[in-house]
Amino acid sequence: METKKRILTGIRPTGALHLGHYVGALENWVRLQESYECFFLIADYQALGDHMDDIDGIRSSVLEVTLDWLAVGLDPAKSTFEVQSYVPQHAELHMLLSMVLPLSWLQRNPTLKSEMESLESEHKTLSLGFYNYPASQVADILLPRAHLVPVGDDQLPHIEMTREVARRFNRLFAPVFPEPDALVGRVPRLVGIDGQAKMSKSLGNCIYLKDDEAEVTNKVRRMFTDPTRIHATDPGHVEGNPVFIYHDVFNKDVDEVNELKERYKAGTVGDVEVKRRLAKALNEFLEPIRARRGEYEVRMDDVKDILRDGSSRARVTAEETMNEVRDAMRLRYTE
């Protein structure tokens, strides 16, 4: 049997997943698990970096995220679901790679820089662990020796750094690690329902995968549209209009979307109608996801088993890599 290439990707357990996660990453994960050996990581260590004050939140999010994954169709029979702290080799490799990683690489990482600025603006203490998290992410990816990392576009600097660390380790010690490629989803940045550039929990502008029908309809009703349009009979703008962006992304009925766009531009359809159709399309899209979530919600013991089993499988792969790393770094004194 031909061995499959590997994927490692993951998410911090800091809340339920939303539509932005879906089109930015999850959709790719579901598709790719057919052709890759996938490791899906719940990065609880990483979550401690900026959520130390909310350990309860991390704890409940570990299970929420797992449910969201199962709901969208990630399949634990095909893929490995692992919890970072259940596979302590993540911490070991992180520590060793932090010797290989020049500090200047962290200092110039744009994602880290902007996250540090926002933590500072909230007057939060910046811990060494937070500063170090991109290095921990490098270790996450290299631990199973992944070839591909499907992620949201804010993660690209971390993948680039992973490639650089792999190259440097391989040159300094031995060729242990492949240089992984990044893969960004169909919609790298989905606008929020408030029209802000990004759907994000901290901005409070999300539609969650687990929102029920009424919540979705309500949120769509509140959505920002064309700010220049006052009456339903005014010609409206479709480009950059969040309601139409969502129609393009989620409404499978392309003819309906095109017709609505024409009528909107001509001023012959109102926001209420366009939103009503969007709510319907979104609910159709979310319905099978909710149904699958419901099937698992009543079997939480099985959900926990999925994390336990996946983590123990991940530990086996991790230990294989660590043995090569310990050999390469000559951490052998008694053999």
Q: Residue 259 is inside which H or E element, if any?
A: helix 254-266
Q: Two tokens at 233?
A: 């009979």
Q: Quick check: 41 binds ligand TRP (CB under 6 A)?
A: yes
Q: Quick check: 51 binds ligand TRP (CB under 6 A)?
A: no
**Pairing relationship of beta strands 148-151 and 181-184 according to DSSP bridges:** parallel
Site string for ligand TRP, 146-185 (x = CB under 6 A): ---x-x---x------------------------------
Q: How far is the CB of 70 from ligand TRP (least distance, A)?
A: 18
Say if CB 50 and CB 187 are below 8 A apart.
no
The contacts found for 62-67 with CB under 8 angstroms, 24 or more apart, are 62/13, 62/307, 63/300, 63/303, 63/304, 64/13, 64/15, 64/16, 64/17, 64/210, 65/11, 65/13, 65/16, 65/17, 66/42, 66/303, 66/306, 66/307, 67/210, 67/293, 67/296, 67/297, 67/303
User: Which of 61, 89, 132, 137 contacts ligand TRP by CB under 6 A?
Assistant: 137
Number of residues that bind ligand TRP (CB under 6 A): 14
Residue with smaller CB distance to ligand TRP, 8 or 67: 8
Q: Quick check: 143 binds ligand TRP (CB under 6 A)?
A: no
Distance, in Å, from the CA atom of 244 to the CA atom of 94, rounded to the nearest integer, reads 43
Q: Quick check: 80 binds ligand TRP (CB under 6 A)?
A: no
Burial of 172 (0-12, 13-18, 19+ CB in 10 A): exposed
Backbone conformation region of residue 240, classed left if phi is above 0, alpha if psi is from -120 to 50, else beta: left
Distance, in Å, from the CA atom of 8 to the CA atom of 29, rounded to the nearest integer, reads 10
User: Which of 11, 23, 38, 314 contacts ligand TRP by CB under 6 A?
Assistant: 11
Distance, in Å, from the CA atom of 213 to the CA atom of 178, rounded to the nearest integer, reads 44
Handedness of CA 192, 18, 181, 82 (dihedral sign): positive
Q: Quick check: 144 binds ligand TRP (CB under 6 A)?
A: no
Site string for ligand TRP, 221-240 (x = CB under 6 A): --------------------
Q: How far is the CB of 172 from ligand TRP (least distance, A)?
A: 23
Chain position whose Cβ is nearest to ligand TRP: 43
Q: Quick check: 65 binds ligand TRP (CB under 6 A)?
A: no
Residue with smaller CB distance to ligand TRP, 140 or 226: 140
Q: Quick check: 46 binds ligand TRP (CB under 6 A)?
A: yes
User: What φ, ψ does residue 38 adopt, rounded to 5°?
Assistant: -105, 140
Q: How far is the CB of 137 from ligand TRP (least distance, A)?
A: 4
User: Which of 6, 12, 163, 247 contacts ligand TRP by CB under 6 A?
Assistant: 12
C-alpha 14: how far from chain center: 11
Q: How far is the CB of 210 from ligand TRP (least distance, A)?
A: 18
Q: Determine the length of the chain.
A: 335
Q: Quick check: 141 binds ligand TRP (CB under 6 A)?
A: yes
Residue with smaller CB distance to ligand TRP, 133 or 250: 133
User: Which of 7, 19, 38, 43 contacts ligand TRP by CB under 6 A?
Assistant: 43
Q: Quick check: 278 binds ligand TRP (CB under 6 A)?
A: no
User: Which of 140, 144, 226, 286 contacts ligand TRP by CB under 6 A?
Assistant: 140
Please give the residue ranges that form the binding site for ligand TRP (CB under 6 A). 8-12, 41, 43, 46, 137, 140-141, 149, 151, 155
